[in-house]
Amino acid sequence: MNIHEYQAREILESYGIAVPRAGVASTPDEARQLAVDLGGRVVVKAQVHAGGRGKAGGVKLVNSPDEAAEAAAGMLGTNLVTHQTKAGGVPVRKVLVAELTDIADELYVAITMDADARAPMVMASSEGGVEIEEVAANSPDKIVRVAADPLIGLTAYHARDIATEIGVPINLVRQATGLITNLCRVFQELDASLVEINPLVVTTDGRVMALDAKIAFEDDALFRHKEVAELGDPEQNDELEQKAHDAGLAYVKLDGGRVGCMVNGAGLAMATMDITKTAGAAPANFLDVGGGAAEDKIAEALEIIVSDGDVEAILVNLFGGILRCDVAARGIVMGVRSTGTQMPLVVAMRGTNAEEGLQILADAGLNVTTVGDLGEAATTLTQVLGATSSNGENS
Amino acid sequence: MGILVDEKTRLLVQGLGRDGTFQASSCRAYGTNMVAGVHPRRGGTKFEDEVPIFETVTEAVDATGANVGLIFVPASGAADAIIEQVDAGLPLVVCISEGVPVQDMVKTLAYMEGKSSRLLGPNCPGLIHPGTRAKVGIIPGSILSEGRVGVVSRSGTLTYEAVVQLTELGIGQSTCVGIGGDPLHGTTFVDVLEMFENDDETDAIVMIGEIGGTKEQQAAEFINNHVTKPVVGAIVGQTAPPGKRMGHAGAIITGVAALASEKIRVLREAGVHVADSPAVIGAKMAEVLGR
């Protein structure tokens, strides 16, 4: 789960990490007032769950409260399109208004989980303020990596080494050490999946502070962080993805596909997506209904697939285990009836109660072609899609 | 004799809720010797009127000589169950639970350093040895056939798909192992590949990977240097976009190494016979075996 920069700032502050003075505004007037309070010259930043705001016009430096109000008015209520968002962009409902900082040096520090090291990994660099992917590509030797001990956390001497390595002036190393140690505490204590400060700045008046903040949390651990879970902003997510998430389904919308996929199990779901390529098409989504899905959950999954305007045919691939195919079949019938869709379905059902499931689909008189395995699914899909596009030309 | 489970397996099941009960029952029905259940409030009772249930894992191991632990407890308590089974000295711990917080796993794996237990999972379907009808997990026994091909995979249902393809072509399996879809897991591809290489029952290996992480690359390096038996590979997620998690917590493209195309390239270089599509894993094995 992602959160906004203004929320991440608050978390950092609560861990004793220095951040510039700032406030959050929902209207141009609020932005103007904040600029007055902060001395006039401020930066106005659109609050969206996407990177690349600067280049997209979502970050503006202004010289007066009126300019701050104007900048806020230009962002609030619009959709910001960055290289990380979908074509339609994401809505801006709030802006962060922050004091300007006199920067002596821009650095970078982030923490993620490293599966190979089996530990939280601190990555830091003397090259801040630019995309870290660029630094990694152009000058990988400028990135310092230090693993934190999973049980002890990041030791102070490690944090000190990192600070020195990325060029924090000697008189500020102590300050930076505290900041880096606390960042690691945020990561470990709050079950974050990413904590990224870019840039981490050294100011001309001798302070080390987080000028920007990005924190993402692990969904699987939100159950033990109720206060973090409340920071979510569903509006920033794709509408169908959010609906699926609320229904407990793992769903990812894919651009440019026309085959809706419904599968149980993530691996089989990816295999089923890949099969559509063999059939000369592209998948419109990833959808894993999970292990013990009930009838209504399957129906909802089908509704989500059908409500994606790009979908022309549906490929269902279920391997009954804990999931019972007869239950799934009833869910599919329910979903087809409630949406009234005429879309062709290609269905493979194996495992627990597969024959009963296929019988239920046959009895319901739906537009279903049943197949035995993935290979047959691909060939059948090719035929079905061929028929769909020729129908489309006729109508 | 299977690589990890066989007729000597004495199974302990922890987490006898709805799913755990159903699955424990199907392990027994398949032929597995389940010797103990663990439930904090049902100690002294019996599972299916036959298998004693204990309040703690240590008690259960002491009383029954259990040597494989199977965990179905909810994700929030799964790491605790793993540690309890490790402390009780179970040589093999299999964790089926899905959605275990990554920070729990990173601590659990650190805790397990230097201890003798092997962990399989979490978020895995477990393993099965059709030769001795030993099933520890949720892989449906009905799709397997006894034979000489070892199967190792990051996925659950996709493993079943591959097994069905093999069985339909008359190619039986020695042991089938699901290592799980989480980024931080116990037993790795390399561990299982090494066991299959040393297993007298296994002539060839199917390895099914997916996007995300670098575990397939590590496997490729190991195959290149240490595996003499033919390996058929498949990598799914070729149509997955970067940066999006495909259900499995570990299935996310975060760099070039995580891409399906890159993993396929590296595996091919290591001499792995990579199937062009997940639909032809069985056919590829038939081709490799000259059938």
The model's pLDDT over A279-299, given as tens digits with 9 standing for 90+, comes to 888 999 999 998 777 899 999
Angle of helix B102-112 relative to helix B75-87, nearest 10 degrees? Answer: 0
Name the minimum distance, in Å, from the CA of B118 to any CA of chain A: 16
Residue A150, CA distances (Å) to A155, A246, B86, B112, B239 in order:
11, 32, 18, 12, 34
Domain with CATH 3.30.1490.20 in chain A: 21-100
Q: Answer whether the bond into residue B74 is a cis peptide, omega within 30°.
A: no
Domain with CATH 3.30.470.20 in chain A: 1-20+102-237
Yes or no: domain B139-288 corresponds to CATH 3.40.50.261: yes
Q: Is the pLDDT of residue A140 over 90?
A: no
Tell me the ipTM for this assembly: 0.90
B139-288 shares the fold of B11-120: yes
Q: Which CATH class is domain A1-20+102-237?
A: alpha beta
Q: Is the pLDDT of residue A239 over 90?
A: no
Percent of chain A with pLDDT over 70: 98
User: Taking CB atoms and an 8 Å cutoff, what residues of chain A touch B110?
Assistant: 118-119, 149-151
Q: Do A271 and B161 touch (CB under 8 A)?
A: yes
Tens of pLDDT, residue by residue over B184-236, are: 999 999 999 999 999 999 999 999 999 988 999 999 999 999 999 999 999 99
Record: fold of B11-120 = Rossmann fold (3.40.50)
At A393, the pLDDT band (50, 70, 90 cuts) reads: very low
Phi, psi (deg, nearest 5) at residue B244: -110, 135
Q: Is the pLDDT of residue A375 over 90?
A: no
Give a three-class secondary structure readout of chain A.
CECCHHHHHHHHHHCCCCCCCEEEECCHHHHHHHHHHCCCCEEEEECCCCCCCCCCCCEEEECCHHHHHHHHHHHCCCEECCCCCCCCCEECCCEEEEECCCEEEEEEEEEEEECCCCEEEEEEECCCCCCHHHHHHHCHHHEEEEECECCCECCHHHHHHHHHHCCCCHHHHHHHHHHHHHHHHHHHHCCEEEEEEEEEEEECCCCEEECCCEEEECHHHHHHCHHHHCCCCHHHCCHHHHHHHHCCCEEEECCCCCEEEEECCHHHHHHHHHHHHHCCCCECEEEECCCCCCHHHHHHHHHHHHCCCCCCEEEEEEEECCCCHHHHHHHHHHHHHHHCCCCCEEEEEEECCHHHHHHHHHHCCCCEEEECCHHHHHHHHHHHHHHHHHHHHHC
Tens of pLDDT, residue by residue over A29-74, are: 999 999 999 999 999 999 999 888 988 999 999 999 999 999 999 9
Q: Is the pLDDT of residue A394 over 70?
A: no
Q: Is A106 an interface residue toward B (CB < 8 Å)?
A: no
At A389, the pLDDT band (50, 70, 90 cuts) reads: low
pLDDT value, residue A391 = 46
How far apart CA B219 and CA A324 sit, in angstroms, is 34
Which residue type sits at A37? D
Q: Is the pLDDT of residue A392 over 80?
A: no
Mean pLDDT of A296-304: 94
Record: fold of A21-100 = Dna Ligase; domain 1 (3.30.1490)
At A323, the pLDDT band (50, 70, 90 cuts) reads: confident
Catalytic residues of A: 108, 196
pTM of this prediction?
Answer: 0.93
Q: Do A266 and B181 touch (CB under 8 A)?
A: yes
Name the minimum distance, in Å, from the CA of B63 to any CA of chain A: 31
Q: Is A113 an interface residue toward B (CB < 8 Å)?
A: yes
Which site among A237, A327, A374 would you substitute to test the B interface, given the most B Cβ atoms closer than 10 Å to its Cβ?
A374
For the domain covering A238-388, report its CATH number.
3.40.50.261
Which site among A49, A220, A315, A380 would you substitute to test the B interface, given the most B Cβ atoms closer than 10 Å to its Cβ?
A220
- Sorted by where each begins, the domain ranges of chain B are 11-120, 139-288
| Mean pLDDT value across chain A | 92
Q: Do B246 and A252 touch (CB under 8 A)?
A: yes
Q: What is the pLDDT along chain B (291 residues), one digit of tens a residue?
A: 689 999 999 999 999 998 899 999 999 999 999 999 999 999 999 999 999 999 999 999 999 999 999 999 999 999 999 999 999 999 999 999 999 999 999 999 999 999 999 999 999 999 999 999 999 999 999 999 999 999 999 988 899 999 999 999 999 999 999 999 999 999 999 999 999 999 999 999 999 999 988 999 999 999 999 999 999 999 999 988 887 788 777 777 777 788 999 999 999 999 999 999 999 999 999 999 998
Tens of pLDDT, residue by residue over A150-179, are: 999 999 999 999 999 999 999 999 999 999
B250 neighbors B183 (Cβ within 8 angstroms) = yes
Q: Do B247 and A321 touch (CB under 8 A)?
A: no
Residue of B nearest to A187 (CA): B103
